[in-house]
Amino acid sequence: MKDSEVEDIPPKHQKVFKQISEAGKTVNQDVYVVGGYVRDFYLNRTKDADKLDIDFVTVGSGIEIAKEIADRLDADNLSVYKQFGTAHIRHDNMDLEFVGARKESYRRNSRKPVVEDGTLEDDQLRRDFTINALSWSLNEENYGQLVDPFSGIQDLKKKLIRTPVDPLKTFEDDPLRMMRAIRFATQLQFDIEEQTYRGIEEMAERIEIISKERIIEELNKIVLAEKPSIGFDHLFKTGLLEHFFPEMVKLHGVEEVRGVRHKDNFWHTLKVLDNVAEMGGDLWLRWAAIMHDIAKPATQKFVKGTGWTFHGHDALGAKWVKPIFRRLGLPLDERMRYVRKLVRLHLRPIALVSDDVTDSAVRRLIYEARDDIDDLMMLCRADITSKNDYKVKQYNRNFDYVEKKIEEVEKKDRIRNWTNPIRGDEIMDALDLEPGPVIGDIKDAIKEAILDGEIPNEHDAAFNYMMDIKDQFVEKQ
């Protein structure tokens, strides 16, 4: 790196690099900064980062040099992974990873490489992309010199993702690199070099030997990008998406009957996803956007005099969330239930636009959405993808009206964090009942009365209502 570039490196990083240089000299091993940190430096992405992963390659033992630098940094958190020949130190918001230079060879039906000690050149040859093969020397004789054997700097300037060797060999060795190419292209908003792109198309089927855990890690990084549609566009056009998320691929296409067409639900979904990303939605709201119309192909029907309908796609899509999450390796906990809820409810708010909609209908939506009502409304607004400005304004006015109704009803009835004002033990004491299903039936009756507006959401009103209806339940027990 040039003197002017050194000045751009944060002082705490410069200090660590100098100490690692001295450690390399002590153990008589050449050492280099490699990969993401060097790439991101030239992209001006390292200055303001709160936390950084910095990788180092040494011609020799990564563990030996890590032990030396741990002593110099007075670090007591050295982690050694003998099986992989790597070591890790966490220091001052930096994750420092050390590995010995190596070369790899692969068998056709395995992702596990045969690993041997190698030179820096060997190590750079096994890198996935030219922009990730950049390195800086930390050695005394050429400290700071850029090592760029595959013109990675030029590819950074051209905003290009390219493999350092034949892409078929690169993707044969590790098919996950196809996902990584698309992930980097999405995050950096770079193009994928033509030969590299053709390599992904040709090797797409090989992604099936990759574990779902590794695939979903890359996919979620695409979902979290500033404009995730870039990645899904590439995944679809290269054929990768078909191999792990066929339900999304089935959204693509337009049918026509008697001159009546429906919109392409694949590109609509990507627009909704981008809209949610632009609004600042988190990973799981973005997954709700991806899944909100997932069952449209299964519910699609042409009705004479009406046109294309997708009745029930919300309910069916909600049922599909769990099995799709399980297959993709996504969590099956409250995050899955959150996505399932938003998919199930995403058509409900627009149905509340009419002036004659009752407070009861609004109460029920608030009760079902609970604390996720704001996210639901964000998804509904993101679902507006019309190119007609008048329609967009009208839809947004409609949602303004719905949100006002929700605010008014919630202020009056406090349903958002609703719990039944009558506890089970209170019901048993007041009505001299034993534990059993009837207690739940009584609580449900009280809930329905509150949601229907028959009684206010208050303890005394709920208790008096219970005493009025108790006979039908007491007789049942």
SS3 32: strand
CA distance 3 to 371: 53
User: Residue 395's pLDDT band (boundaries 50, 70, 90)?
Assistant: confident
Instruction: Name the residue with higher pLDDT: 141 or 269.
Output: 269
CA 261 to chain centre: 32
CA distance 424 to 442: 9
DSSP lists the bridge partners of residue 98 as: 56, 87
Asked if pLDDT for residue 353 goes beyond 90, the answer is no
Report the amino acid identity of residue 121: E
CA distance 369 to 148: 54
- Residue 255: burial class (beta carbons within 10 Å; 0-12, 13-18, 19+): exposed
User: Residue 109's pLDDT band (boundaries 50, 70, 90)?
Assistant: low
Name the pairing type of β-strands 146-147 and 135-137: antiparallel
**pLDDT value at position 476?**
65
DSSP string, 92-141: TTEEEEEEE-EEEE--TT-SPPEEEE--HHHHHHT-SSGGGS-EEE-SGG
* Mean pLDDT computed over 54-65: 89
* Mean pLDDT computed over 134-160: 93
The pTM (predicted TM-score) of the whole model is 0.88
* Mean pLDDT computed over 168-177: 92
From the CB of residue 475, how many other CB atoms can be counted at a distance below 10 Å?
Answer: 8
Helix, strand, coil % (nearest 5) of the chain? Answer: 60, 10, 30
User: Residue 413's pLDDT band (boundaries 50, 70, 90)?
Assistant: confident
Q: What is the CATH number of domain 160-244?
A: 1.10.110.30
Asked if pLDDT for residue 162 goes beyond 50, the answer is yes
Asked if pLDDT for residue 222 goes beyond 50, the answer is yes
Name the pairing type of β-strands 52-58 and 94-100: parallel
Tens of pLDDT, residues 32-44: 999 899 999 999 8
Cβ pair 209, 276 in contact under 8 A: no
**pLDDT value at position 48?**
65
SS3 316: helix
DSSP state of 352: G
Asked if pLDDT for residue 296 goes beyond 90, the answer is yes
CA distance 157 to 191: 11
Report the amino acid identity of residue 90: R
**pLDDT value at position 4?**
46
Average pLDDT over all residues of the chain: 89
Asked if pLDDT for residue 171 goes beyond 90, the answer is yes
* Mean pLDDT computed over 161-177: 94
φ/ψ (deg, to 5) at 50 = -75, -35
Homologous superfamily in CATH for domain 3-158? Beta Polymerase, domain 2 (3.30.460.10)
Residue 114's nearest CA partner among 125, 106, 126, 102 is 106
Instruction: Name the residue with higher pLDDT: 213 or 471.
Output: 213
- Tracing tokens 């691929």 back to the chain, one arrives at 249
From the CB of residue 299, how many other CB atoms can be counted at a distance below 10 Å?
Answer: 16
Alpha helices in 85-211 (DSSP H): 120-125, 152-158, 167-173, 176-188, 194-203
Q: Could you tell me the two tokens for 85?
A: 């020949």
Tally of residues, the chain = 477
DSSP string, 139-162: SGGGTT-EE-TT-HHHHHHHTEE-
* Mean pLDDT computed over 152-174: 94
Domain coordinates in residue numbering, the chain: 3-158, 160-244, 424-476
Asked if pLDDT for residue 7 goes beyond 70, the answer is no
**pLDDT value at position 124?**
82
